[in-house]
C-alpha cells in the first residue's frame, strides 16, 4: 500500500513517474539498456538530457539570457559554489536571512568573503517572516544579494521578489521550485537540490544569467565552476544521469497537469486547507506571519506537546508518514510538495480534527 | 532484448540488481514508499545506508583505521576535493601520471599547490605503462602522492601498489574498484565515482584514513570537507540516497558471487580471453605493456582503421554496444566491468574473428 508521505525531502514523487521508471528499468525504449547503464555521451542519454532541459526551460519560462545547469552537491554544496563563482573581484556579498538554510548560506560565505547581513526575519518566535525589500540594508558594492525563497525548516516563503537592477539577486529555491511560476529574469542565479519538487536527491539545478559566468575565483573546482559546466553542457564530469532522467519524467508530469499555473492552483488549495485547519483550532498553531507562510512546508505545534508522540503514532497508523518537525524547531511539519495529492492533505486534516476531539 | 554493453561508464549493471530495483520501485519492503521518497534521516533509509557501508567494508576488507564516505561530484570533483582536504600546511603533492585521468588530476592540483610530477607512463605510443615504484622521483616533503590505479581511457592498470610509509598514497580507483582485492591499508585515501563497478552515476566513494581528516584548507567547501562528512556519517548534506541504494544492491550481488576473489577470477578469465583474441591476430592491436594491461578497459585498434565504422555497425547489429574508443585515443574500447558477463566477452571475441575473416 502506498502511503501519504509528508517528508521534507527526499520527498514524495508522483506515482506515475515511479511506475514509468519501474517499467523502463531494464530496457529503456528498446535500447536494451537501463538509463543507469547508458553512456552520458551516447545518443540515448543525450536525448533524455536535452528533453529535460527543454521541458524545464518551458515550465519555468527561463529567458534566453539564462543557462540551465545540472550539478551535484545540493543546496549546501552551492553555499560554497555560489561565492566561488560569483564573487569575482568583490569583497562582499549581502544576505537576507529567513531561516536555517539562509543562516547556513551566510555562515559558509565567510570562507570566501566578508559577508554582509542585509536583513533578518528572526523574531522572538524564531524565523517567522520574510523581510520586505524596504527593510533590506544593502552594502555599498555587493557581488550579489542572497535569499532563500522558501525555508524548508521554518516554513517561511518569499512571494514578492524585488528587482535589484544591476546587483545580481541569487536565490536558493530548493524547496519550492516548480510549485508556482517564478520570474527568473529577476535573478542572477537560482539553485535547488532536486529532492523536493524536481525528483530524487543527487542532482542540483542551477539557472544562471550567462553574463555572470566570468566571475569565478581561481580556487573554484573545475567540476563546480559554472562556466566550465555550461561550456560542457553539464557534462564536464559524468552527470548524475538517472537523477536527470527522473527529473525529466517529473517535468513531463507537470506539463501534462497544465504547467506551473495549474500546479500553483493545486498548491494554493492544499495549503489553504491545511492552514485553515490549523487556524480554526486552538489545539494547533503555526507561528509564521500569514504573508510569509510557505505553501510547501507547514510547521505546526500541538497546544499540548506531551501528545506529540501519540499524534505521530496515530498518523502513522493511517499511512500519514514523516510528519515530525525538524529537530531544531520541534513540533510537526507537513511538507506538501507538488507530488502530495489533495487527498493526502484532506486525510491529514481529517486526522488532525479527530485527534483534537479525542483530547477533549 | 537486453544487450551486451561495453560502455566505459556509466556502464552495465547486473540484471538482477535492475530487476530488484524495478520490483521495489513503488514500495520498498512494505514501507509504502520508493527508496527515492524516503527521508535520509528516517529509519528505512538509515538501514539501507548502514548495510551498504558494512557490505562495502566487508568486501574490500577496509581496516578500522579508515572511514568510508559517500560524496558527490565524481572523480573530477575529487581532483579539487583531495588537495583541499589533504594539503594541510604543505606546499606540494606528487603525481604519477598513467593516462588522461591522472593528467587531469595533476592539472587541477595547480589551483591549490605547486604539484610535482613524480613519474609518467607516457611513451611514443601514448600512455602505455604504469611506472614502477623504483621510477618514481618523489619531492622532499609532499602532502601525498597521487596515482590513478586504472586509467579508463588508456587501459593502463597498476597492479603493484607500493608502501610509501609515512607519505599518504592517494588513488583514483574509479574504474577498477571492486574488480579485485585491494590492500586499502596501503593508502591514505582512495576514491571513485560509482558509475563503473559500484552502481549508477551520482555517488562518489571516498575511503580515507581517519588520522588524515584534520588537514583541510580553510577554503574547502563544508559539503566536501571529509572531516565534516565523516562526522555527519555522510549526511551533512542530503546524500544521493537512490545511488547509495543501488550501490548497496551491487554489493549484495558481489557478496553472493563470492566476493572480490571470486569476481577477480572472472575478470581474469574475461580479460585473458579478449587480450588473447587481440594478440593472436594481426588485425587487432593493443599497445599497452602486458604487465600494465587493464582487466577492465581494453582499448584496441583495427589494422585497417578505415573499417572502424563497419566494425561498430556490425557489432551493434549483434547487440554488442558502446565499443567506440574514447575520442582522444580513437579505435575501439571494450570496457568489461564486473557486470559484463563472460558470455558478452565470448560474443565479442567471436564477432571480432568473423569480422577479421570477412576482411581477408
Please, how many CA atoms are within 13 Å of residue B210, restricted to the half-sphere of its CB?
Answer: 9
Whole-number pLDDT of residue B233: 95
- Burial, A280: exposed, middle or buried (Cβ in 10 Å; 0-12, 13-18, 19+)? exposed
**Is A101 in the active site?**
yes
Domain count, chain B: 2
Examine the domain organization and report whether A61 and A201 are in the same domain: yes
Dihedral sign, CA of B120, B124, B126, B130? negative
| Confidence check: pLDDT of B113 > 80 | yes
Examine the domain organization and report whether A144 and A183 are in the same domain: yes
| Confidence check: pLDDT of B152 > 80 | yes
Per-residue model confidence as pLDDT tens digits over B241-254: 999 999 999 999 99
Burial of A97-109, coded b for 16+ CB within 10 Å and e otherwise, reads: bbbbbbbbbbebb
Q: CA-to-CA distance for A83 and A60, rounded, in angstroms?
A: 24
- CATH number of the domain that B342 lies in? 3.90.1150.10
pLDDT band at B1 (very low <50, low <70, confident <90, very high): confident
Longest dimension (CA), chain A: 64
Per-residue model confidence as pLDDT tens digits over B215-225: 999 999 999 99
Cβ-defined contact of A38 to B7 (cutoff 8 Å): yes
* Binding residue numbers of A for pyridoxal 5'-phosphate: 101, 152, 172, 195, 237-238
> Does some domain include residue A11?
no
Per-residue model confidence as pLDDT tens digits over B166-194: 999 999 999 999 999 999 999 999 999 99
Examine the domain organization and report whether B49 and B161 are in the same domain: yes
Examine the domain organization and report whether B104 and B60 are in the same domain: yes
> Nearest CA to CA, how far is A89 from chain B (Å)?
16
Whole-number pLDDT of residue B95: 98
Examine the domain organization and report whether A247 and A298 are in the same domain: no
**How far are the Cα atoms of A38, A213, A215, B340, B354 from residue A85, in angstroms, in the given order?**
31, 7, 6, 40, 53
Set of chain B residues whose Cβ sits within 8 Å of the Cβ of A11:
37, 39
Cβ-defined contact of B72 to A202 (cutoff 8 Å): yes
Whole-number pLDDT of residue B163: 96
Examine the domain organization and report whether A119 and A158 are in the same domain: yes
Whole-number pLDDT of residue A2: 83
Given A28, A55, A94, A196, the catalytic residue:
A196
Whole-number pLDDT of residue A26: 97
Using CB atoms, pick whichever of A79, A193, A236 lies closest to residue B238: A193
Q: CA-to-CA distance for A352 and B180, rounded, in angstroms?
A: 55
Residues of B with catalytic roles: 101, 172, 196
- CATH number of the domain that B72 lies in? 3.40.640.10
Set of chain A residues whose Cβ sits within 8 Å of the Cβ of B240:
72, 200-202, 240, 243
Examine the domain organization and report whether A150 and A264 are in the same domain: no
Which of B237, B256, B275 is the endpoint of a domain?
Answer: B256
Range of the domain at B280: 259-359
Q: CA-to-CA distance for B105 and B95, rounded, in angstroms?
A: 8
Examine the domain organization and report whether B111 and B177 are in the same domain: yes
> Does some domain include residue B214?
yes
Cβ-defined contact of B36 to A239 (cutoff 8 Å): no
DSSP state of B8: S
Question: If you average pLDDT over residues B286-297, what whole number do you get?
Answer: 97
Best of A202, A219, A228, A335 to disrupt the B interface by mutation (most B CBs within 10 Å)? Answer: A202
Cβ-defined contact of B15 to A26 (cutoff 8 Å): yes
Cβ-defined contact of A73 to B34 (cutoff 8 Å): no
CB-based contacts of A139, cutoff 8 Å, min separation 6:
A92, A94, A116, A118
> Does some domain include residue B2?
no
> Does some domain include residue B108?
yes
Examine the domain organization and report whether A24 and A101 are in the same domain: yes
Whole-number pLDDT of residue A7: 96
Examine the domain organization and report whether A148 and A213 are in the same domain: yes
pLDDT band at B359 (very low <50, low <70, confident <90, very high): confident
Q: CA-to-CA distance for A65 and A182, rounded, in angstroms?
A: 15
| Confidence check: pLDDT of B349 > 90 | yes
Taking 50 as the pLDDT cut, the residues of chain A under it are none
Ramachandran quadrant class, B109 (left: phi over 0; alpha: psi -120 to 50; beta: rest): alpha
Residue given cell 601514448 in the structure block: B126
Set of chain B residues whose Cβ sits within 8 Å of the Cβ of A40:
10, 201
CB-based contacts of B167, cutoff 8 Å, min separation 6:
B138, B142, B144, B145
Element at B209 (helix H, strand E)? strand B204-209
Q: Is the separation of the CB atoms in B46 and B36 below 8 Å?
A: no
Examine the domain organization and report whether A103 and A186 are in the same domain: yes
pLDDT band at B86 (very low <50, low <70, confident <90, very high): very high
Amino acid at each position: 500500500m502506498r502511503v501519504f508521505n509528508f517528508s521534507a525531502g527526499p520527498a514524495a514523487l508522483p506515482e506515475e513517474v515511479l511506475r514509468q521508471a519501474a517499467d523502463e528499468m531494464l530496457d529503456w525504449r528498446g535500447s536494451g539498456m537501463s538509463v543507469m547503464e547508458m553512456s552520458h555521451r551516447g545518443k540515448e542519454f543525450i536525448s533524455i538530457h536535452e528533453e529535460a532541459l527543454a521541458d524545464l526551460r518551458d515550465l519555468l519560462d527561463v529567458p534566453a539570457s539564462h543557462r540551465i545547469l545540472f550539478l551535484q552537491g545540493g543546496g549546501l554544496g552551492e553555499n560554497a559554489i555560489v561565492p566561488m563563482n560569483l564573487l569575482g573581484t568583490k569583497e562582499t556579498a549581502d544576505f537576507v536571512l529567513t531561516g536555517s538554510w539562509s543562516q547556513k548560506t551566510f555562515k559558509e560565505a565567510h570562507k570566501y568573503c566578508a559577508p554582509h547581513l542585509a536583513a533578518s526575519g528572526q523574531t522572538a518566535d524564531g524565523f517567522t517572516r520574510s523581510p520586505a525589500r524596504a527593510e533590506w540594508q544593502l552594502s555599498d558594492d555587493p557581488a550579489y544579494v542572497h535569499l532563500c525563497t522558501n525555508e524548508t525548516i521554518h516554513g517561511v516563503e518569499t512571494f514578492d521578489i524585488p528587482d535589484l537592477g544591476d546587483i545580481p539577486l541569487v536565490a536558493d529555491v530548493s524547496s519550492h521550485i516548480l510549485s508556482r511560476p517564478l520570474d527568473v529574469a529577476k535573478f542572477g542565479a537560482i539553485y535547488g537540490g532536486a529532492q523536493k519538487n524536481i525528483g530524487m536527491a543527487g542532482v542540483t539545478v542551477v539557472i544562471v544569467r550567462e553574463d555572470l559566468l566570468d566571475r569565478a575565483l581561481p580556487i573554484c573546482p573545475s567540476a563546480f565552476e559554472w562556466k566550465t559546466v555550461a561550456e560542457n553542457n553539464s557534462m564536464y564530469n559524468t552527470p548524475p544521469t538517472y537523477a536527470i532522467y527522473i527529473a525529466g519524467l517529473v517535468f513531463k508530469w507537470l506539463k501534462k497537469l497544465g504547467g506551473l499555473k495549474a500546479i500553483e492552483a493545486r498548491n494554493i488549495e492544499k495549503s489553504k486547507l491545511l492552514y485553515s485547519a490549523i487556524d480554526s483550532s486552538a489545539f494547533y498553531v503555526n507561528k509564521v506571519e500569514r504573508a510569509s507562510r510557505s505553501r510547501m512546508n507547514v510547521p505546526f505545534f500541538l497546544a499540548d506537546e506531551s501528545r506529540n508522540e501519540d499524534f505521530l503514532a496515530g498518523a502513522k497508523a493511517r499511512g500519514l508518514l514523516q510528519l515530525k518537525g525538524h529537530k531544531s524547531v520541534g513540533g510537526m511539519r507537513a511538507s506538501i510538495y507538488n507530488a502530495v495529492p489533495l487527498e493526502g492533505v484532506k486525510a491529514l486534516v481529517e486526522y488532525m480534527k479527530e485527534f483534537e476531539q479525542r483530547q477533549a
